[in-house]
Amino acid sequence: MDEPIGSVSIAVARTGGSSEALTVGYIFVDSTTTKGVDYMGIDGNLTWLAGDTTNKVIQVLIIDDGRADSGEIFYVSLTATEATLLGSQTTFTVVLEDNDIDTPGTVTFATASQTVLESLGQASVLVQRIGGSVGEVSVSYETAAGTALENLDFLVSSGTLIWADGDSADKEVLVPLVNDNFFEGNETLSISLSDVAGGNVAGANSVHSITIKDDEPEPATWFEFKRSLYSGTESAGQVQIEVERFGSGVGAASVSIQSANNTAFVGLDFVPLNEQLNWLDGETGVRVVTLILVDDQIDESTEEVTLVLADPSENTLIGDLSDASALIYDDEGTIGELVNLSTRGFVGIDQETMIAGFVVTGTPGESSRVVIRALGNSLVQGGLSPAAVVPDPDVYLVNSEGSIIDSNQQWVNGPAPTLIAEFGLAPIDPNEAVIVTDLFPGSYTAHVRDSQGRSGIGLVEAYYVEDENSGGATSRLINISTRSLAGSGDESVIGGLVVSGSKPKQVLIRGIGESLGAAGVANALSDTFLELFSGGTKVTDNDDWQSAANSGEVQALLAPGAASESAILVTLEPGAYTAILSGAGGQTGIPLIEIYEVN
């Protein structure tokens, strides 16, 4: 019998006469089955009245247990007080043919979301193993901040859940909540499943959203810092701090902002701050306070000032972001600068065209001399095969209005081959392209594509060069961002940067993928992974930017738009570096790699 049949009927016949009433019993006997697990059978009796010769039926319910079993057998046997009442065929054999395949099952959250009161103290999240229970299965889980903040609204929870072979019971994860006395409105966080061993994660329910329902009454007004981290250079002399009033705005209100020593010290590094901020009746929004810095001419590391909100006026509260920090970047000596930015990636057509955006900063009306190169065959010297590179790259320079302002197809036939050679930037292949141009401060993009529509790996570079046409010390490159198809290995997108000077330079490198899809880019890379190298030595890496130890500083500067995107914020000594952007888990798609100078 096939296991999914549902039931089986066993007929019992009366033969050899019917002059008297007759009763016989029947019992179920297991062989390789288990009654109650593989089938439902209740021992009983069959009765015929005098003259009755109709067949009687024993009905057995077959259980489809979802597990792979091989040829399970049980028996139904007839019994009687007198053996002469039974014929020769008193035992019926039932063989169950299984249709199930052993699977480890799928690990998933029981629900996609939940709402829990802040006062409850914890959120209970159920994780299920469904669709199979063969073998041991484990999964990692970890919380991530949303509008709810780590340690302020909830405590970070992470760990591993393990199911033994045959275990399909639900597992519980408890996320501790912080029951504070601040009104914050409803806030959200998420918990994600990853690194499944022995099974699969259901994509739709691999992330569970928790909404924390605030249990404090909404005050008429409350105050918070606009963000948790501010920064500025010592020579700039100041840092602008923003404080915001929330709520209905009914009534005049005030709060004080105060500074305190951290690694920076009052009088030596900054002027003490103790200022009352005032809002009129009906006013909400932001007030800006200036933290005055001391330019001390001493070579020192980055220093930090602690900022706090205090003394709220009557019937007002201080909200969740009640404290913040201000970083003071030292700029004595020769400041590190980004003097060369480059990206290596796939050059295709249409949306797979390589597009490099860069920013030139400086004094308005004062131009900078910039060299832009698009290379293909030169990459063979770096180990790529000739078949892998784009054979004849062209470069087009586009301004912020979308107009092409310069282009080149073959550098030897361009207007400045001698100047290119003098700069030491002459490519080895005449089919490669170079633009030498003077650019005013602003944003620009360089579009690279093959002259005949072919594809392959290419390199786009932007150099700031100093000569008689350079814009001076105030003019330089501060950013490059490049969009290109990313794969793995040689097809990873590789960003290059060179830090000049004698002092370290802080840079922010971002790998953007999911946000491009939201903006309409087809085949956007859904999950990016960044690695930073100095020579052949890895400096650091990052998968999801919120997992970085300095994610708060990234948030304050320029956080990626999606949790699956990556970011590295690091201070680099002068030298050459490469950032490799690929798809997490071997994914392919179109990402954007960005390199920013942080002042």
DSSP assignment of 83-105, as one string? Answer: GGGS-S--EEEEEEBP-------
Instruction: Specify the pLDDT at position 476.
Output: 45
Residue 87 identity (one-letter amino acid):
G
CA distance 106 to 99: 19
Instruction: Specify the pLDDT at position 409.
Output: 92
Q: Rounded to a whole number, what is the largest CA-CA distance in the chain?
A: 127
Instruction: Specify the pLDDT at position 505.
Output: 80
CA distance 369 to 373: 13
Would you tell me how many other CB atoms lie within 10 Å of the CB of residue 68? Answer: 13
For the chain, give every residue range classified as CATH 2.60.120.380.
340-597
Instruction: Specify the pLDDT at position 586.
Output: 77
For the chain, give every residue range classified as CATH 2.60.40.2030.
3-96, 106-213, 222-329
Which CATH number is correct for 340-597, 2.30.29.30, 2.60.120.260, 3.40.50.150, 2.60.120.380? Answer: 2.60.120.380
On whether the CB atoms of residues 139 and 127 are closer than 8 A, the answer is: yes
- Characterize the bridge pairing of strands 505-512 and 393-399: unpaired
Instruction: Specify the pLDDT at position 39.
Output: 87
Predicted confidence (pLDDT) per residue in 169-178, tens digit: 999 999 999 9
Instruction: Specify the pLDDT at position 407.
Output: 93
357's enclosing H/E stretch is strand 354-361
Rounded alpha-carbon distances, angstroms, from residue 185 to 34, 119, 210, 215, 309: 55, 13, 14, 8, 20
The CATH architecture one would assign to domain 3-96 is Sandwich (2.60)
Instruction: Specify the pLDDT at position 155.
Output: 93
Q: Give this prediction's pTM.
A: 0.43
Rounded alpha-carbon distances, angstroms, from residue 123 to 119, 191, 208, 540: 10, 11, 11, 34
| Residue ranges of the chain with per-residue pLDDT less than 50 | 334, 339-340, 469-479
Instruction: Specify the pLDDT at position 99.
Output: 62
The CATH architecture one would assign to domain 106-213 is Sandwich (2.60)
Q: Can you give the C-alpha Rg of the chain in angstroms?
A: 36
Q: Is 85 exposed, middle or buried, given 0-12, 13-18 or 19+ CB atoms closer than 10 A?
A: middle
* CATH number of the structural domain 222-329: 2.60.40.2030
